[in-house]
Amino acid sequence: MPYLKGGTALIFYLMTTLSSSPGPIGVFDSGYGGLTILDEIRRKLPQYDYIYLGDNARAPYGTRSFDIVYRFTLEAVNYLFSQGCHLVILGCNTASAKALRTIQQNDLPAIDPARRVLGVIRPTVEKIGEITSTGNIGIVGTPGTVRSRSYDMEIEKLYPGFRTYSQACPMWVPLVENGEAQGDGTDYFVKRDVEALMSKHPAIDTVILGCTHYPLLKDKVEKYVPEGVKVLSQGAIVADSLADYLDRHKEMAARCSKNATCRYLTTESSDKFSESASLFLSEPVEATSISL
Protein backbone atom coordinates (compact mmCIF):
# COMPACT_ATOMS: atom_id res chain seq x y z
CA MET A 1 0.00 0.00 0.00
CA PRO A 2 2.66 2.57 -1.01
CA TYR A 3 0.07 5.32 -1.65
CA LEU A 4 -1.33 5.16 1.90
CA LYS A 5 0.61 6.62 4.77
CA GLY A 6 1.12 5.50 8.38
CA GLY A 7 -2.19 5.59 10.31
CA THR A 8 -4.40 5.37 7.22
CA ALA A 9 -2.60 2.25 6.04
CA LEU A 10 -2.94 0.68 9.48
CA ILE A 11 -6.69 1.41 9.68
CA PHE A 12 -7.18 0.07 6.15
CA TYR A 13 -5.20 -3.05 7.04
CA LEU A 14 -7.20 -3.61 10.26
CA MET A 15 -10.52 -3.10 8.48
CA THR A 16 -9.78 -5.56 5.70
CA THR A 17 -8.32 -8.11 8.12
CA LEU A 18 -11.33 -7.87 10.47
CA SER A 19 -13.79 -8.07 7.61
CA SER A 20 -12.20 -11.15 6.09
CA SER A 21 -11.15 -13.18 9.13
CA PRO A 22 -13.64 -15.71 10.53
CA GLY A 23 -15.98 -14.36 13.20
CA PRO A 24 -18.78 -15.49 15.50
CA ILE A 25 -22.39 -15.99 14.41
CA GLY A 26 -24.51 -13.13 15.74
CA VAL A 27 -27.93 -13.78 17.23
CA PHE A 28 -30.10 -10.75 17.90
CA ASP A 29 -33.34 -10.18 19.76
CA SER A 30 -35.09 -7.21 21.33
CA GLY A 31 -34.60 -8.91 24.70
CA TYR A 32 -34.35 -12.42 26.09
CA GLY A 33 -36.60 -14.29 23.63
CA GLY A 34 -33.82 -14.96 21.12
CA LEU A 35 -32.09 -17.04 23.79
CA THR A 36 -34.63 -19.79 22.99
CA ILE A 37 -33.29 -19.72 19.42
CA LEU A 38 -29.63 -19.48 20.46
CA ASP A 39 -30.04 -22.40 22.84
CA GLU A 40 -31.28 -24.72 20.09
CA ILE A 41 -28.70 -23.44 17.58
CA ARG A 42 -25.87 -24.13 20.02
CA ARG A 43 -27.25 -27.58 20.72
CA LYS A 44 -27.29 -28.34 16.99
CA LEU A 45 -24.06 -26.51 16.05
CA PRO A 46 -21.90 -26.43 19.20
CA GLN A 47 -18.62 -26.01 17.33
CA TYR A 48 -19.27 -22.39 16.27
CA ASP A 49 -18.64 -19.15 18.18
CA TYR A 50 -21.66 -16.99 18.97
CA ILE A 51 -22.46 -13.47 20.14
CA TYR A 52 -25.92 -12.90 21.50
CA LEU A 53 -27.17 -9.32 21.58
CA GLY A 54 -30.34 -8.37 23.45
CA ASP A 55 -31.58 -4.80 23.06
CA ASN A 56 -33.18 -5.09 26.50
CA ALA A 57 -33.04 -1.35 27.17
CA ARG A 58 -35.47 -0.75 24.29
CA ALA A 59 -37.57 -3.95 24.49
CA PRO A 60 -40.32 -4.78 23.82
CA TYR A 61 -40.30 -4.14 20.07
CA GLY A 62 -43.70 -5.77 19.55
CA THR A 63 -45.73 -2.61 20.00
CA ARG A 64 -43.30 -0.28 18.20
CA SER A 65 -43.74 1.20 14.72
CA PHE A 66 -42.26 -0.27 11.57
CA ASP A 67 -39.64 2.49 11.22
CA ILE A 68 -38.43 2.25 14.79
CA VAL A 69 -38.07 -1.55 14.72
CA TYR A 70 -36.17 -1.26 11.43
CA ARG A 71 -33.83 1.45 12.79
CA PHE A 72 -33.12 -0.39 16.07
CA THR A 73 -32.56 -3.69 14.26
CA LEU A 74 -30.16 -2.13 11.75
CA GLU A 75 -28.17 -0.59 14.61
CA ALA A 76 -27.89 -4.00 16.27
CA VAL A 77 -26.90 -5.74 13.04
CA ASN A 78 -24.21 -3.12 12.36
CA TYR A 79 -22.92 -3.56 15.90
CA LEU A 80 -22.66 -7.31 15.43
CA PHE A 81 -20.86 -6.76 12.11
CA SER A 82 -18.41 -4.46 13.93
CA GLN A 83 -17.72 -7.39 16.29
CA GLY A 84 -16.60 -9.50 13.32
CA CYS A 85 -19.85 -11.39 12.59
CA HIS A 86 -20.34 -12.35 8.94
CA LEU A 87 -23.69 -13.98 9.61
CA VAL A 88 -26.43 -12.58 11.85
CA ILE A 89 -29.65 -14.37 12.77
CA LEU A 90 -32.57 -12.17 13.80
CA GLY A 91 -33.85 -14.39 16.61
CA CYS A 92 -36.89 -12.17 16.82
CA ASN A 93 -40.10 -12.43 14.81
CA THR A 94 -40.91 -8.75 15.17
CA ALA A 95 -37.52 -7.73 13.72
CA SER A 96 -37.76 -10.46 11.07
CA ALA A 97 -41.22 -9.19 10.11
CA LYS A 98 -40.45 -5.50 10.07
CA ALA A 99 -36.75 -5.08 9.28
CA LEU A 100 -35.27 -8.16 7.62
CA ARG A 101 -36.31 -7.57 4.03
CA THR A 102 -35.20 -3.90 3.98
CA ILE A 103 -31.87 -4.77 5.57
CA GLN A 104 -31.30 -7.62 3.09
CA GLN A 105 -32.34 -5.63 0.02
CA ASN A 106 -31.33 -2.04 0.78
CA ASP A 107 -28.65 -2.03 3.46
CA LEU A 108 -26.51 -5.13 3.02
CA PRO A 109 -25.40 -4.37 -0.55
CA ALA A 110 -23.94 -1.07 0.71
CA ILE A 111 -22.55 -2.39 4.02
CA ASP A 112 -20.94 -5.56 2.66
CA PRO A 113 -22.65 -7.78 0.09
CA ALA A 114 -20.80 -10.84 1.40
CA ARG A 115 -22.43 -10.65 4.87
CA ARG A 116 -25.78 -12.24 5.56
CA VAL A 117 -28.74 -11.56 7.82
CA LEU A 118 -31.34 -14.33 8.19
CA GLY A 119 -34.67 -14.38 10.02
CA VAL A 120 -36.91 -16.88 11.76
CA ILE A 121 -40.19 -16.60 9.84
CA ARG A 122 -39.27 -18.28 6.56
CA PRO A 123 -37.76 -21.45 8.13
CA THR A 124 -40.80 -21.80 10.40
CA VAL A 125 -43.22 -21.49 7.51
CA GLU A 126 -41.24 -24.01 5.44
CA LYS A 127 -41.83 -26.58 8.17
CA ILE A 128 -45.60 -26.34 8.55
CA GLY A 129 -46.34 -28.27 5.34
CA GLU A 130 -45.05 -31.39 7.10
CA ILE A 131 -47.17 -30.80 10.19
CA THR A 132 -50.66 -29.63 9.27
CA SER A 133 -53.33 -31.96 7.92
CA THR A 134 -56.10 -29.39 7.40
CA GLY A 135 -54.01 -26.46 6.09
CA ASN A 136 -55.62 -24.20 8.70
CA ILE A 137 -52.79 -22.47 10.53
CA GLY A 138 -53.10 -20.39 13.69
CA ILE A 139 -50.42 -17.83 14.51
CA VAL A 140 -49.87 -16.13 17.84
CA GLY A 141 -47.42 -13.23 17.94
CA THR A 142 -46.73 -9.71 19.07
CA PRO A 143 -49.07 -6.98 17.75
CA GLY A 144 -46.26 -5.90 15.38
CA THR A 145 -45.73 -9.35 13.89
CA VAL A 146 -49.46 -9.95 13.49
CA ARG A 147 -50.07 -6.52 11.96
CA SER A 148 -47.23 -7.02 9.46
CA ARG A 149 -49.02 -10.14 8.07
CA SER A 150 -45.55 -11.58 7.39
CA TYR A 151 -46.60 -15.11 8.34
CA ASP A 152 -49.80 -14.90 6.26
CA MET A 153 -47.88 -13.68 3.21
CA GLU A 154 -45.09 -16.29 3.51
CA ILE A 155 -47.67 -19.05 3.97
CA GLU A 156 -49.73 -17.83 0.98
CA LYS A 157 -46.54 -17.83 -1.12
CA LEU A 158 -45.32 -21.26 -0.09
CA TYR A 159 -48.64 -23.04 0.37
CA PRO A 160 -51.37 -21.46 -1.73
CA GLY A 161 -54.63 -22.86 -0.43
CA PHE A 162 -53.64 -22.89 3.24
CA ARG A 163 -55.60 -20.52 5.45
CA THR A 164 -54.13 -18.42 8.26
CA TYR A 165 -55.71 -17.05 11.45
CA SER A 166 -53.72 -14.73 13.71
CA GLN A 167 -54.05 -13.50 17.24
CA ALA A 168 -51.96 -10.68 18.73
CA CYS A 169 -50.99 -11.38 22.34
CA PRO A 170 -49.65 -8.07 23.68
CA MET A 171 -49.36 -9.28 27.29
CA TRP A 172 -47.31 -12.41 26.71
CA VAL A 173 -43.86 -10.83 26.21
CA PRO A 174 -44.09 -8.55 29.26
CA LEU A 175 -45.22 -11.53 31.37
CA VAL A 176 -42.26 -13.65 30.24
CA GLU A 177 -39.76 -10.77 30.55
CA ASN A 178 -40.95 -10.24 34.11
CA GLY A 179 -40.41 -13.85 35.13
CA GLU A 180 -44.15 -14.67 35.19
CA ALA A 181 -44.11 -17.47 32.57
CA GLN A 182 -45.19 -20.01 35.20
CA GLY A 183 -47.40 -17.61 37.15
CA ASP A 184 -51.09 -18.35 37.69
CA GLY A 185 -52.03 -14.87 36.45
CA THR A 186 -50.44 -15.72 33.12
CA ASP A 187 -53.03 -18.46 32.57
CA TYR A 188 -55.71 -15.80 32.31
CA PHE A 189 -54.06 -14.07 29.33
CA VAL A 190 -52.94 -17.27 27.59
CA LYS A 191 -56.41 -18.83 27.90
CA ARG A 192 -58.11 -15.65 26.69
CA ASP A 193 -55.88 -15.24 23.63
CA VAL A 194 -55.76 -18.93 22.70
CA GLU A 195 -59.56 -19.13 22.89
CA ALA A 196 -59.84 -16.00 20.74
CA LEU A 197 -57.55 -17.61 18.16
CA MET A 198 -59.32 -20.96 18.14
CA SER A 199 -62.72 -19.29 17.79
CA LYS A 200 -61.61 -17.99 14.37
CA HIS A 201 -61.83 -21.47 12.81
CA PRO A 202 -62.59 -24.90 14.28
CA ALA A 203 -60.27 -26.67 11.78
CA ILE A 204 -57.07 -24.96 12.96
CA ASP A 205 -54.77 -27.93 13.62
CA THR A 206 -51.38 -26.19 13.97
CA VAL A 207 -50.53 -23.14 16.07
CA ILE A 208 -47.23 -21.36 15.38
CA LEU A 209 -45.67 -19.69 18.41
CA GLY A 210 -44.62 -16.71 16.30
CA CYS A 211 -42.55 -14.99 18.97
CA THR A 212 -39.29 -16.22 20.42
CA HIS A 213 -40.49 -15.53 23.97
CA TYR A 214 -43.44 -17.89 23.63
CA PRO A 215 -41.66 -21.26 24.02
CA LEU A 216 -41.66 -20.44 27.74
CA LEU A 217 -45.46 -20.43 27.57
CA LYS A 218 -45.77 -23.57 25.43
CA ASP A 219 -47.15 -25.72 28.28
CA LYS A 220 -49.87 -23.20 28.95
CA VAL A 221 -50.76 -22.83 25.27
CA GLU A 222 -51.01 -26.61 24.97
CA LYS A 223 -53.30 -26.64 27.98
CA TYR A 224 -55.83 -24.34 26.27
CA VAL A 225 -55.82 -25.56 22.64
CA PRO A 226 -58.27 -28.36 21.78
CA GLU A 227 -56.85 -31.87 21.86
CA GLY A 228 -54.84 -32.84 18.79
CA VAL A 229 -53.82 -29.27 17.88
CA LYS A 230 -50.05 -29.07 17.42
CA VAL A 231 -48.16 -26.17 18.97
CA LEU A 232 -44.96 -25.28 17.16
CA SER A 233 -41.88 -23.65 18.77
CA GLN A 234 -39.27 -22.24 16.43
CA GLY A 235 -35.92 -22.95 18.13
CA ALA A 236 -35.21 -26.42 16.75
CA ILE A 237 -36.67 -25.51 13.36
CA VAL A 238 -34.39 -22.47 13.02
CA ALA A 239 -31.38 -24.51 14.20
CA ASP A 240 -32.02 -27.21 11.57
CA SER A 241 -32.48 -24.58 8.90
CA LEU A 242 -29.22 -22.85 9.86
CA ALA A 243 -27.32 -26.15 9.80
CA ASP A 244 -28.72 -26.78 6.33
CA TYR A 245 -27.80 -23.24 5.23
CA LEU A 246 -24.20 -23.62 6.41
CA ASP A 247 -24.01 -26.96 4.69
CA ARG A 248 -25.14 -25.46 1.41
CA HIS A 249 -22.98 -22.31 1.80
CA LYS A 250 -19.54 -23.62 2.56
CA GLU A 251 -17.96 -20.20 1.96
CA MET A 252 -20.09 -18.77 4.82
CA ALA A 253 -19.37 -21.75 7.08
CA ALA A 254 -15.65 -21.07 6.53
CA ARG A 255 -16.16 -17.44 7.62
CA CYS A 256 -17.76 -18.51 10.93
CA SER A 257 -15.14 -19.20 13.59
CA LYS A 258 -15.24 -22.47 15.48
CA ASN A 259 -13.98 -22.39 19.08
CA ALA A 260 -17.32 -23.24 20.75
CA THR A 261 -17.56 -19.92 22.65
CA CYS A 262 -20.56 -17.71 23.36
CA ARG A 263 -20.61 -14.06 24.47
CA TYR A 264 -23.69 -12.26 25.73
CA LEU A 265 -24.23 -8.55 25.16
CA THR A 266 -27.10 -6.41 26.37
CA THR A 267 -28.04 -2.76 26.10
CA GLU A 268 -29.42 -2.94 29.69
CA SER A 269 -27.49 -3.61 32.89
CA SER A 270 -25.30 -6.70 32.60
CA ASP A 271 -26.32 -7.94 36.08
CA LYS A 272 -29.99 -7.76 35.23
CA PHE A 273 -29.41 -9.64 31.96
CA SER A 274 -27.31 -12.36 33.60
CA GLU A 275 -29.98 -12.93 36.24
CA SER A 276 -32.97 -13.05 33.87
CA ALA A 277 -31.21 -15.05 31.15
CA SER A 278 -31.23 -18.04 33.48
CA LEU A 279 -35.01 -18.27 32.92
CA PHE A 280 -34.33 -19.01 29.27
CA LEU A 281 -31.11 -21.05 29.44
CA SER A 282 -29.99 -24.00 31.46
CA GLU A 283 -26.52 -22.55 32.19
CA PRO A 284 -25.52 -19.36 34.03
CA VAL A 285 -24.28 -16.57 31.78
CA GLU A 286 -22.18 -13.49 32.27
CA ALA A 287 -23.23 -10.57 30.12
CA THR A 288 -21.50 -7.36 29.04
CA SER A 289 -23.38 -4.10 28.74
CA ILE A 290 -23.00 -2.12 25.49
CA SER A 291 -24.62 0.92 23.85
CA LEU A 292 -26.02 0.97 20.35
User: Catalytic positions, please?
Assistant: 92, 211
Judged by CB under 6 A, the residue of 24, 62, 123, 215 near ligand DGL is 62
| Residue number with CB closer to ligand DGL (24 or 60) | 60
Judged by CB under 6 A, the residue of 173, 208, 217, 262 near ligand DGL is 173
Smallest gap, in angstroms, from Cβ of residue 63 to ligand DGL?
Answer: 7
Smallest gap, in angstroms, from Cβ of residue 238 to ligand DGL?
Answer: 11
| Residue number with CB closer to ligand DGL (23 or 99) | 99
Q: How many CB atoms lie within 10 A of CB 211?
A: 28
Stretch that binds ligand DGL, among 40-48, 54-62, 259-267, 268-276 (CB under 6 A): 54-62
Q: Does 56 bind ligand DGL (CB under 6 A)?
A: no
87: Cβ contacts below 8 Å, ≥ 6 apart: 25, 26, 115, 116, 117, 118, 252, 255, 256
- Please report, as a single letter, which amino acid is at residue 123: P
Q: Report the first-to-last Cα separation within the chain, whole angstroms.
A: 33
From CA 216, how far away is CA 90, in angstroms rounded?
19
Each residue 130-159 as x (binds ligand DGL by CB under 6 A) or -, in order, gives ------------x--x--------------
Burial of 243: CB neighbours in 10 Å, binned 0-12, 13-18, 19+: middle
Q: Give the count of residues interacting with ligand DGL (CB under 6 A).
A: 17
Judged by CB under 6 A, the residue of 24, 30, 76, 255 near ligand DGL is 30
From CA 199, how far away is CA 229, in angstroms rounded?
13
> Rounded to the nearest 5 degrees, what angle is found at the Cα of 27, between the Cα atoms of 21 and 30?
140
Q: Where do contacts with ligand DGL occur on this chain (CB under 6 A)?
A: 29-31, 33, 59-62, 92-94, 142, 145, 173, 211-213
